[in-house]
Amino acid sequence: MIFELIKNRRAVFPAQYNDKPLSEDALKKVLEAANWAPTHRRTEPWRFKVIRGNSKLRLGEFMAHKYQEIEQRPKKVKIKKLRENPVRSAAVILICMQRDPEERLPEWEELAATAMAVQNMWLMCTAMGIGCYWSSPGLITYMDEFVQLSEGEKCLGLFYMGYYDEEPPLVGRQPIADKTLWLD
Residues at the contact surface with ligand FMN, assessed by CB under 6 A: 10-11, 133-137, 157, 171
Among residues 138, 145, 154, 141, the alpha carbon closest in space to that of 74 is found at 138
Sequence-distant (6+) residues with CB within 8 A of 11 are: 132, 133, 134, 168, 171
- Residue 9 or 99 having the CB closest to ligand FMN: 9
Q: What is the smallest separation between the CB atom of 90 and ligand FMN, expressed in angstroms?
A: 18
Q: What is the smallest separation between the CB atom of 153 and ligand FMN, expressed in angstroms?
A: 18
- Residue 134 or 142 having the CB closest to ligand FMN: 134
- Residue 89 or 135 having the CB closest to ligand FMN: 135
Q: What is the smallest separation between the CB atom of 80 and ligand FMN, expressed in angstroms?
A: 15
Q: Give the span between the Cα atoms of 161 and 33, in whole angstroms.
A: 15
Helix (H) or strand (E) segment spanning residue 122: helix 107-128
Q: What is the smallest separation between the CB atom of 164 and ligand FMN, expressed in angstroms?
A: 13
- Residue 170 or 177 having the CB closest to ligand FMN: 170
Q: Give the span between the Cα atoms of 51 and 154, in whole angstroms.
A: 17
